[in-house]
Structure 1
Amino acid sequence: MSKLILAHDLGTTGDKASIFDAEGKCLASTVYQYETYFPDSLSVEQDPRDYWKAVVCSTQKLLSQGKFGPQDIGVVTFSGQMMGALPVDEHGNPLYRILIWADRRSVSEVEWIRRRISENTIYEITGHRLSPNYSLAKILWIRNNLPDVYRKAHKFLLAKDYVVFKLTGRWATDFSDASGTNMFDLRKEDWSEEILEAVELPIEKLPPVFPSTEVIGEITSEASQEIGLLPGTPVVIGGGDGSCAACGAGVVQEGQAYAYLGSSSWIALASREPIYDPQKRTFTFHHLIPGLYMPTGTMQAAGASYQWCRDTLCDREKQLSAEWGISPYEIMNLEARRVPPGSEKLLFLPYLMGERAPWWNPHARGAFIGLTPRHRKAHLVRAVLEGVSFNLRIILDAFREQGIQIDSMRIIGGGAKGDFWASLLASMFGMEVLRPALIEEATSLGAAIVGGVGIGIFPGIEAVRDLLEIKDCFLPKEEESQVYERLYPVFKQCYLSLVEVYESLASLGQDER
């Protein structure tokens, strides 16, 4: 049997295809990007056919490099962005664009669900509070607003599950991805009949659920001709990107934690039991490992806030980036270093897309607070990173308040590349921050481990402990930590003081398109 693993990570901005060997080494990778559509301020969609095109093109690109042939690929496996809702017909053809995780248009559907079943009941069953970000409310929005699409929908799929169907002709999802839908019973590891009955959603419209390591099927002859892999190549279902990232970060035993720094960001840990926060600030996914859970707090616009800062305020940095051949973020970080911690009391609320944890307010919006004539662009740049970090600190403290002991934080994702943010987080969290050797490939590594377990390359998902290298360690700086401690309650106060303003803005109706 061939020992190479092809892992596809279907993220928010594109598909990263990576080939791993039996030692967990990434031999090659490539990225194929796709478009995101914003019909209005609450709606965020993608074309699922772009997912398939991305998987086909990225696979063919890897194979065309001449280092690997179709016969070398022992298994194909997946990580995927979570919480979407894609209606497809009985042949797997999309009936509408997929409403992805960031879509928040289904606010009224959430209120309707709340009248049918207690939110406490849903939180206890699924580990999640009610939110328009989850698949359930999105499906009901389609039922209410696109009745013909809903009627024709044979299944509602998540991102990776659509591609798995295209490859194998099998309907399937996994425990971890299903746990982000507001419909999955964490402990029973199946769809919740109680919730589905309450909202009158037939279980037949959802795919069967399997462990992440399950071999769902084999590449069909038809898919083989298009993608360039051998027919009969095993396909492992894989997992949701958060759970795959946990595995790739080496968070596979109770007490370990990591922060993913990407377009959205989250803090997650491994736990033998779901964690139920009295304020419902955090939630719990199913881990890739049976019997293990992944308590998590996710914010909407982390790296996305820094990207907004780049695109809106930093044209010169982008210009220099092209001239010097380095990332514009590196230049922005150099500017931010010139500003003292706390940005001279300038605060940024990173709620450009509403917010999930800790506030769960789709109407929240971004803001700079404390601007004076003294502040320059460098202050704004640093304040954006600090605002994102303050919000992550609130999520971390939500776990600490439950008595969870976290001694160090691993960081992965594109935002983990820079030393500046990593050091800032160490001071913000007041703890050691660890950076693995694989940061942008961590999610892909997690998916690869799952695929390898599925066909017997690895004995279990815990094998990642022997494959993972911690490359860098960042320690808190006492003076910086003291500044952040003083500003931390003020940051929280800023949001709370603006809640009524956010509601007033929302009452004015949808933003102009």
Structure 2
Amino acid sequence: MPRIENRLSNGDHILGIDIGAGSCKSILFGKDFTIKSSAQQEYLHSNPQPGWDELDPNYWWRNVANTIKETIKKSNLPPESIKCVGIAAETDGIMPVDREGKPLRPYIHWLDSRCIPQHEQIQKRFDPDKIYDITGIPLHVGWWSPPALKMLWIKENEPEIYSRTHKFLQIGSYILYKLTGKFANDYSTASRTLLFDIKKLEWSETIEDLFNIPISMQPDLYNSTEIAGQVVEEAAKLTGLSTNTLVVVGGGDTECSALGAGVMSEGQALISIGTSLMIGIPRSEPTLIPKGPDRRLFGTGLVCTSHVIPNTWILEVGCLGGAMLKWFKEEFGYTETQMAQELGLSPYELLILEAEKSHPTPNSPVCALPVETIYNLNLGHKKKDLIRCILEGVAFEAQEVIEVAEKYGKKIDNLTIVGGGAKSDVWRQIIADVTGKPAKSPFMTETAAYGAAMLASVGGGIYQDLRKIPSLKSYFNTPREELNQTYRILFKKYKRICHLLRSDH
């Protein structure tokens, strides 16, 4: 489709939208990237069968539209003042739509695990190494299935729906369609599908032939700063946006979060701590891990995707992260939960304050999160020691990823920590001490929306260069050599435990 000029609106405000797994957030920025207003809405998933996880796309769109409308209302600015919109969205779900862009079934979410038979079928029929060499995605049977396997599931289990499918859309592409009426996708989002050639940056005809899913069923591809279109009238009525506002293609939430946090070049790494731990490491060329245990890291392996920055790729991996801290809070944190309610705090704040009282030694307990094991607990250990070892376990996961990434690429010089866990200075310091690398954490936690707005500002012509946009102010944590020495001993124990207990050993 023809590219859109960036002169349609005279405004200079930028809207960044972050569409995550459990909520969506819209943030309105001024030209200098100061926040003018924001709004957030959560949404519910449905689980019609065990292992299934779905969302009603129309309900999802209404939530996104409502956050935009509320954000504009809170700002007291006219809709015409918003020049451009950028979108960051989760990338690993899929849904089929007809020629009018109407969903033919609920969105199959990235948490959905119904595709294990398709996973096993592909591994038996085709060479996983060949697929990895083209797509950058290690094909291991597990809880995570790339969108292409969800497409195969629909083709095999819902043939009537498949026969009416015009396009398969990830959620970012669907919201782009609702805003502009155009079917568009960016390289970072497309590179998560298992249908994308990570070296050529195009839909792969080879994979198309293997899976027998036509490339014509995928959206057109664009750079993340390109304009998909301007807001259509129906979307303008629902969102309050002007029909002159430009909609920039945007990108995947991890890549946009990395951009927003300033993680743009080799030598940097993004660590996002939530219920899961997501790590992203920029590369100047596609980086593929040789066949062996490193490729199977944490089950899914390091996925090589396109960054939202031109001529840049990013190694990504997700792992257990803060899930064990959540488990500890629910099973053993009754006192902290009650106190937190009385004090108006998060129970996690109180748990982490307790962890700060513990001091690591070579004989401390070791939390090996990949195998869900805590080793070396004894009767002398207290609650504070157990909490701290869980925080350290997340840092050990990050260190394991860093070691593998450095083995096959440039040394990582510094870390940027985002997500809910980044609010804790204790946790940030533990990560710096374990890795031996300086770490920073932006004051602003919504780095995905910030990154989406950065992309929009370049696409809309407000800025010419992503690197010229004001960077976020940050906290800084410097590694302490004496604790790094202790953690090296504990990390060796962590690796030994994981080696002994992982299912492939």
Q: Which residue of 1 aligns with 2:339?
A: 320
Which among 484, 489, 492 is matched to residue 481 of structure 1? 484
Normalising by structure 1, what TM-score?
0.88
Distance apart, 1:341 and its partner CA: 2.3
**Distance in 2 between residues matched to 1:277 and 1:42, nearest whole Å:** 30
What per-residue deviation string (whole Å, max 9, x for no partner) do you get for residues 408-448 of structure 1?
Answer: 1111222211101100000111111122333x121111110
What per-residue deviation string (whole Å, max 9, x for no partner) do you get for residues 292-342 of structure 1?
Answer: 11122x223323433333333323322222221222221111111122326
**Distance in 2 between residues matched to 1:79 and 1:456, nearest whole Å:** 19
Q: Which residue of 2 aligns with 1:178?
A: 190
Which among 436, 443, 455 is matched to residue 437 of structure 1? 443
8 A contact 2:66–2:238 mirrored in 1? no
What is the one-letter code of the residue matched to 2:156?
N
Which among 213, 219, 234 is matched to residue 231 of structure 2? 219
C-alpha distance 144-493 of structure 1, shift in aligned 2 (>3 A): farther
What does 1:248-263 align with in structure 2 at a 5 Å threshold?
248-263=260-275
Which among 452, 458, 478 is matched to residue 457 of structure 2? 452
What does 1:105-144 align with in structure 2 at a 5 Å threshold?
105-131=114-140, 132-144=144-156
**Distance in 2 between residues matched to 1:312 and 1:152, nearest whole Å:** 47
Which among 239, 242, 259 is matched to residue 247 of structure 1? 259
What is the one-letter code of the residue matched to 1:415?
G
Which among 252, 267, 276 is matched to residue 264 of structure 1? 276
8 A contact 1:125–1:184 mirrored in 2? yes
Q: Which residue of 2 aligns with 1:329?
A: 348
Q: Which residue of 1 aligns with 2:369?
A: 350
Distance apart, 1:81 and its partner CA: 0.8
8 A contact 1:339–1:382 mirrored in 2? yes
Q: Secondary structure at the match of 1:65?
A: helix
Distance apart, 1:38 and its partner CA: 4.7
Q: Which residue of 1 aligns with 2:501?
A: 498
Percent identity between the aligned chains? 32
C-alpha distance 40-421 of structure 1, shift in aligned 2 (>3 A): farther
Stretch of structure 1 that moved more, 2-11 or 274-283 = 274-283
What is the one-letter code of the residue matched to 2:359?
P
8 A contact 1:437–1:468 mirrored in 2? no
Distance apart, 1:453 and its partner CA: 0.8
Q: Which residue of 2 aligns with 1:509?
A: none
What does 1:232-311 align with in structure 2 at a 5 Å threshold?
232-278=244-290, 279-280=294-295, 281-296=301-316, 298-311=317-330
**Distance in 2 between residues matched to 1:183 and 1:144, nearest whole Å:** 18
8 A contact 1:7–1:18 mirrored in 2? yes
Distance apart, 1:122 and its partner CA: 1.9
Stretch of structure 1 that moved more, 452-461 or 253-262 = 253-262
8 A contact 1:299–1:392 mirrored in 2? no
Distance apart, 1:191 and its partner CA: 0.8
Q: Which residue of 2 aligns with 1:463?
A: 468
Q: Secondary structure at the match of 2:502?
A: helix
**Distance in 2 between residues matched to 1:148 and 1:317, nearest whole Å:** 52
**Distance in 2 between residues matched to 1:380 and 1:188, nearest whole Å:** 48
What is the one-letter code of the residue matched to 1:427?
D
Aligned-pair Cα RMSD in Å: 2.3
What is the one-letter code of the residue matched to 1:486?
I
8 A contact 1:434–1:470 mirrored in 2? no
8 A contact 1:436–1:471 mirrored in 2? yes
8 A contact 1:284–1:295 mirrored in 2? yes
Distance apart, 1:343 and its partner CA: 10
**Distance in 2 between residues matched to 1:377 and 1:287, nearest whole Å:** 41
Distance apart, 1:217 and its partner CA: 1.4
Distance apart, 1:349 and its partner CA: 3.8
Stretch of structure 1 that moved more, 34-43 or 240-249 = 34-43
C-alpha distance 163-408 of structure 1, shift in aligned 2 (>3 A): same
Q: Moved runs in structure 1, 4+ residues, more than 6 A?
A: none
Distance apart, 1:229 and its partner CA: 1.4
**Distance in 1 between residues matched to 2:126 and 2:196, nearest whole Å:** 15
C-alpha distance 188-499 of structure 1, shift in aligned 2 (>3 A): same
**Distance in 2 between residues matched to 1:496 and 1:7, nearest whole Å:** 42
8 A contact 1:8–1:16 mirrored in 2? yes
Q: Secondary structure at the match of 1:32?
A: strand
What is the total number of aligned residue pairs between the two structures?
485
What is the one-letter code of the residue matched to 1:378?
K
Distance apart, 1:151 and its partner CA: 2.9
**Distance in 1 between residues matched to 2:179 and 2:280, nearest whole Å:** 31
C-alpha distance 369-198 of structure 1, shift in aligned 2 (>3 A): same
| Structure 2 residue 447 is the aligned partner of structure 1 residue 428 | no
8 A contact 1:62–1:68 mirrored in 2? no
